[in-house]
């Protein structure tokens, strides 16, 4: 698959992966901005999935949108119901 992607598509995928890894790192370091960044990442999943469908990387099926909705709701629930330490590291 890597040889069929254009440079722009590959760079978008790399940037998306880097954002996800950065947010996980911020969360694991218990930084004050972790929840805001994770909500932003979840909101950006919508245009990322749309773009992946538009570029032919994902099939344009209703199941993909249902799975994205389920993943986002589960992630939001875990994000706000997971206890965090009170002494967050400043951003």
The 10s digit of each residue's pLDDT in 21-55 is 999 999 888 888 889 999 999 999 999 999 888 88
Query: What digits encode the pLDDT tens for the residues 63-74?
Result: 999 999 999 999
Element (H, E) at 39: helix 34-54
Is pLDDT of 79 > 90? no
Extents of the domains making up the chain: 7-81
Give the integer Cα–Cα distance in Å for 59 and 54.
Answer: 9
CA–CA separation, 64 and 60 (whole Å):
7
Separation CA 88–CA 21 (nearest Å): 19
Work out the angle between the directed axes of helices 34-54 and 62-81 (0-180°, nearest 10).
170
pLDDT of residue 90: 67
E-strand stretches of 1-91 = none
> Quick check: helix, strand or coil at residue 89?
strand
């Amino acid at each position: 698959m890597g040889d069929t992607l254009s440079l722009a598509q590959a760079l978008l995928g790399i940037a998306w992966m880097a954002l996800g890894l950065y947010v996980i790192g911020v969360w694991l370091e218990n930084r004050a901005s972790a929840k805001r960044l994770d909500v932003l990442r979840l909101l950006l999943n919508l245009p990322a999935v749309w773009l992946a469908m538009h570029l032919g990387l994902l099939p344009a099926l209703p199941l993909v949108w249902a799975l994205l909705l389920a993943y986002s709701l589960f992630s939001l629930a875990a994000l706000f119901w997971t206890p965090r330490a009170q002494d967050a590291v400043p951003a």
